[in-house]
Structure 1
Amino acid sequence: MSAAPARRRLVGVSYKMYFDLQKTDAYLQAVLPHLPSLLESLQREVDVFVIPDFVSLLSYRDAIKSAGAPLFLGAQDSHHEDAGAFTGEVSPKVLAQAGVRFVEMGHAERRRLFGETDAWVAQKALGAARNGMVPLICLGEQTKGGGTQVAVDECWAQVEAVFRDIAPDAEVVLAYEPVWAIGAAEPAGAEHVVAVTQALRQKAADLKRPGLVRILYGGSAGPGLFQKLEEGVDGLFLGRFAHDPQAFLRTIEEVGSGKK
């Protein structure tokens, strides 16, 4: 079995349902002109993605292609089947055809509001990977203060079925977001995040699968955070803070200027 490929750093932002069409378009136009030169100036290679609403995916794809910008496109959710009688759902095959690279799944909001389960997430991961996309799986413990092992056990249970069922060479991104830190004024403590993400990385490595696994931190992530976490994570998955495009660009710069 071949060794896993080198991990590039990764930064992304999800718009959730905060932007209307005008703001969605303005955001992209504020980011695209600056991205190529910014990425070329960094010490470390960084992959960057944005996750707009479904309605904006095709216009984003066309704008990114026209600009020749090194920006990946993501989707906020997906069904696990490519086609069928699933009214209101979005096909992973269609998302792949629309140029999507990353598919977010398992976010705490999806679990809480729509009843999304670990088994459901595993099915979605298979659907995304089957269509050449990367499952971006959100995971995190519910209770604050339970300690590293409790957090690791709870988080691993959320993705164990994914790693059991998905092709060994399929890429997976884990976005660690302690549920209690989402939307909080402050992120989880750096020592806790590093300990949990290092343990999750070791559990993934113990599977001895060749597919790339990258780990992000989300949950009230903002400026100055990545340097505190880079021993455990490969980048950041941003929410409200990065809804300011200039803040998003500053975060990319921060992630790309860390330790070699």
Structure 2
Amino acid sequence: MPSADRPKRLVGTSLKMYFDLAATTSYVKGVQELDTHAKSNNVDLFVIPDFLAILPSHELLKDTSVILGAQDAFWEDRGAYTGEVSPLSLAQAGVKIVEMGHAERRRIFGETDEQVAKKAAAATHNHMVPLVCIGEKSHGSIASAAVGMAVEECRPQVMSILSAVPDEAEIILAYEPVWAIGAKEPADADHVVNVTKEIMKMTAGRKGLTRILYGGSAGPGTFKRLAEGVDGLFLGRFAHDLNNLKQVITELGEN
């Protein structure tokens, strides 16, 4: 069973752009049906559809404990920002978590730590929780050196968020080594635990709830090996099969 002095377990998935609108609605209905299972295991469950599916997803989830997320948000509530999505509007649409800083957005759109921090501040200003993706791009061949390199690459990513959001605000940090995203196997458990323990030290003393997730080819059995260093998992395509998601919820409840 989870330790009483650790935050409540948390698991969820971002659907990215894998599903069309009909498929997303069908998937969210399936997540809705896992609400009771998550509650019985004392696990917080979230799902992050694309922007077009947020309103219908909110209607499906509004009477459940499932947390609705968005895949991004701009750092201003209003203005001449063509193509961007207002955090104020997302909050009004029922969004509670905003994913930001994913490696794909950093790579494809050139997002910087400064921009991600501004988005995190905007999310907290609108009473939403920033779910910030952090992680190193490359992996050293020597285990001890790899941990140190990862920590130092993650440090500015973390510190920029901590300097931008109020100390009492809730935040979620999703540690996703870029080299492990889409890989056949998750990152080595010792590496993840050693890195996330150092991330915990960076956030120590905050008044607000801080939870750390692992993402990057996570699947069955992943959490048990990482439980010492993380509070849950941020799942990828593995969670497209709802039976897999249910299994992970069970594992989080047991560890």
Sort the TM-score into its range (normalised by shorter chain): over 0.9
- Counterpart mapping for 1:138-157 below 5 A: 138-145=133-140, 146-157=145-156
Matched residues in 1 for 2:31 and 2:165: separation?
34
Q: Identify unmatched segments of 5+ residues in structure 2.
A: none
Q: Partner of 2:190: helix, strand, or coil?
A: helix
User: Identity rate of aligned residues, in percent?
Assistant: 55
Is residue 87 from structure 1 mapped to residue 82 from structure 2 by the alignment? Answer: yes
Query: Match for residue 187 of structure 1?
Result: 186
Matched residues in 2 for 1:143 and 1:39: separation?
35
Query: Match for residue 166 of structure 1?
Result: 165
**Greater than 3 Å deviation, 4+ residue runs:** none
Paired positions, count: 247
CA RMSD of aligned residues (A): 1.2
Is residue 214 from structure 1 mapped to residue 211 from structure 2 by the alignment? Answer: yes
Q: Identify unmatched segments of 5+ residues in structure 1.
A: none
Name the amino acid aligned to 2:33. P
Query: Match for residue 17 of structure 1?
Result: 17
Q: Identify which range, 243-252 or 229-238, moves more after superposition.
A: 243-252
Query: Match for residue 234 of structure 2?
Result: 237
Matched residues in 2 for 1:242 and 1:123: separation?
30
Residues 1-55 of structure 1: CA deviation (Å, up to 9, x unaligned): xxxx96111001000000011211111222222321x13432xx21110000000
Is residue 202 from structure 1 mapped to residue 201 from structure 2 by the alignment? Answer: yes
* Counterpart contact for 1:16–1:76, Cα < 8 Å: yes
Over 3 Å counting, the alpha-carbon distance change for 1:162 and 1:40 in structure 2 is closer
Matched residues in 1 for 2:12 and 2:33: separation?
17
Matched residues in 1 for 2:31 and 2:108: separation?
31
Query: Match for residue 126 of structure 2?
Result: 131
Residues 182-202 of structure 1: CA deviation (Å, up to 9, x unaligned): 001111000000000011001
Name the amino acid aligned to 2:131. L
* Counterpart contact for 2:35–2:45, Cα < 8 Å: no
Matched residues in 2 for 1:54 and 1:12: separation?
17
Residues 43-101 of structure 1: CA deviation (Å, up to 9, x unaligned): xx211100000000010111112xx2210000000000000000000000001001111
Matched residues in 2 for 1:133 and 1:147: separation?
34
Query: Taking structure 1 as the reference length, what is the TM-score of the superposition?
Result: 0.92
* Counterpart contact for 1:122–1:159, Cα < 8 Å: no
Residue of structure 1 aligned with 2:65, choices 64, 70, 79: 70
Is residue 223 from structure 1 mapped to residue 203 from structure 2 by the alignment? Answer: no
Q: Partner of 1:147: helix, strand, or coil?
A: helix
Query: Taking structure 2 as the reference length, what is the TM-score of the superposition?
Result: 0.94
Residues 188-246 of structure 1: CA deviation (Å, up to 9, x unaligned): 000000000011001110xx220111000000011111000000000000111001122
